[in-house]
């Protein structure tokens, strides 16, 4: 067990709720294994207290923070600097201490990028369909555009939210790359190309393990690859439906792990080894299999 002493640097997560987060496990595991003197804990912060909390964290010499729901956008006002893609998305999940204040990053998208790289999936020129139009969908749509995907379709129960993301992406990149539709309009919107599907809605999340945002089997015949950002359960109904049509499917556990690793690397200016990443991944997987 690592010793906490006068030189220990504090890291933490602000959000509400925070008690079920896996982030303390991820960051304290890496610190232990790499013998880096940091400790990571959670801070439950109410909506009206976000700016005060960040100011206080800086005054307390806290090395870095993660930010989760519902504060990922509100926190931006408290930053001294922001990474351009995080600014475009309008959501930050990692604060890195600098001389001027905290700089904001979005390691959720770095996490997805690293997961896709790991699985040998390159988004360039690909046809992508994103299911859901919440905060995660917005970040992923920007990532796809940034990686020069050929086409991005956002399907959502509420059309206006999908349209808003598509408009934002098209305006930001100055081209008509993204379009929107309702969930049942996939058939008319998706072309004959094979799509990479990224599932970002909350449908299928534990304990609703048997639900998928699109249950129509026909949809899955249009895919060449399916990625769910849900990791609990490890195999979602969306993944099962994709696999039933012979489509390779991945869960969101690597995305979660890599968003954490990317943040820890930024805070400590280090690189986590491939070996440690594999070890950490096995530990995380075991938590859900137990
Ligand atoms: P996050 O910020 O994590 O992406 P969110 O903003 O709560 O999460 O978004 C949840 C997504 O799941 C939304 O796209 C939501 O659809 P609506 O925009 O129509 O609300 C989608 N979702 C949640 N429950 C759903 C359901 N029963 N059927 C279809 N979509 C659903």
Give the pLDDT confidence of 170-222 residue by residue, as tens digits.
999 999 999 999 999 999 999 999 999 999 999 999 999 999 999 999 999 99
What does pLDDT average to over the chain? 97
Which residues form ligand 1's pocket by a CB distance below 6 Å?
A: 132-137, 156-158, 161, 200-203, 213
Q: Give the chain's end-to-end CA distance (angstroms, integer).
A: 23
Report the residue among 69, 134, 137, 252 best suited for mutation to probe ligand 1: largest number of ligand atoms under 8 A from its CB: 134
Nearest residue (by CA) to ligand 1, atom 23, is 202
Query: Residue 158: its pLDDT value, please?
Result: 98
**For residue 1, is pLDDT > 80?**
no
**For residue 160, is pLDDT > 90?**
yes
Closest by Cα among 209, 227, 203, 42 to 129: 227
* % of residues, the chain, pLDDT over 70: 99
Catalytic residue among 33, 44, 72, 87: 72
Per-residue pLDDT, averaged over 71-86, amounts to 97
Q: Which atom of ligand 1 sits closest to the CA of residue 136? A: 4
Alpha helices in the chain (DSSP H): 23-34, 50-59, 84-89, 107-118, 135-146, 159-173, 186-189, 217-220, 237-244, 253-268, 274-289
* % of residues, the chain, pLDDT over 90: 97
222 catalytically annotated: no
Q: What is the pLDDT of residues 117-159, one digit of tens each?
A: 999 999 999 999 999 999 999 999 999 999 999 999 999 999 9
Q: Which atom of ligand 1 sits closest to the CA of residue 211? A: 27
Between the CA of 174 and the centroid of ligand 1 the distance, in Å, is: 27
Of the pLDDT bands very low, low, confident and very high (cuts 50, 70, 90), residue 289 is confident
Per-residue pLDDT, averaged over 243-260, amounts to 98
């Amino acid at each position: 067990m690592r010793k906490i002493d006068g030189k220990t640097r504090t890291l933490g997560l602000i959000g509400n709720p925070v008690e079920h987060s896996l982030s303390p496990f991820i960051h304290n595991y890496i610190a232990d294994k790499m013998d880096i003197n940091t400790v990571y804990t959670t801070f439950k912060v109410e909506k009206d207290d976000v700016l005060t909390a960040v100011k206080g964290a800086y005054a307390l010499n806290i090395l870095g923070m993660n930010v989760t729901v519902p504060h990922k956008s509100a926190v931006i006002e408290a930053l001294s600097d922001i990474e351009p893609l995080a600014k475009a998305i309008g959501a930050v999940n990692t604060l890195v201490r600098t001389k001027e204040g905290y700089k904001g990053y979005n390691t959720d998208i770095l996490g997805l990028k690293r997961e896709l790289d790991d699985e040998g999936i390159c988004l360039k020129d690909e046809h992508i369909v994103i299911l859901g139009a919440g905060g995660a969908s917005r970040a992923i749509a920007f990532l796809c555009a940034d990686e020069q995907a050929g086409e991005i379709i956002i399907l959502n129960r509420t059309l206006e939210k999908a349209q808003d993301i598509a408009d934002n992406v098209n305006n930001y990149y100055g081209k008509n790359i993204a379009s929107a539709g309702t969930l049942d309009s996939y058939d008319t919107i998706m072309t004959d190309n094979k799509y990479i599907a990224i599932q970002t809605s909350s449908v299928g999340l534990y304990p609703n393990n048997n639900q998928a945002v699109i249950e129509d089997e026909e949809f899955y015949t249009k895919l060449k690859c399916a990625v769910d950002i849900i990791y609990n359960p490890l195999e979602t109904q969306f993944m099962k439906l994709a696999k039933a049509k012979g489509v390779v499917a991945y869960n969101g556990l690597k995305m979660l792990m890599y968003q954490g690793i990317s943040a820890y690397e930024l805070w400590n200016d280090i690189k986590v080894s491939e070996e440690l990443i594999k070890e950490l991944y096995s530990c995380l997987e075991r938590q859900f299999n137990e």
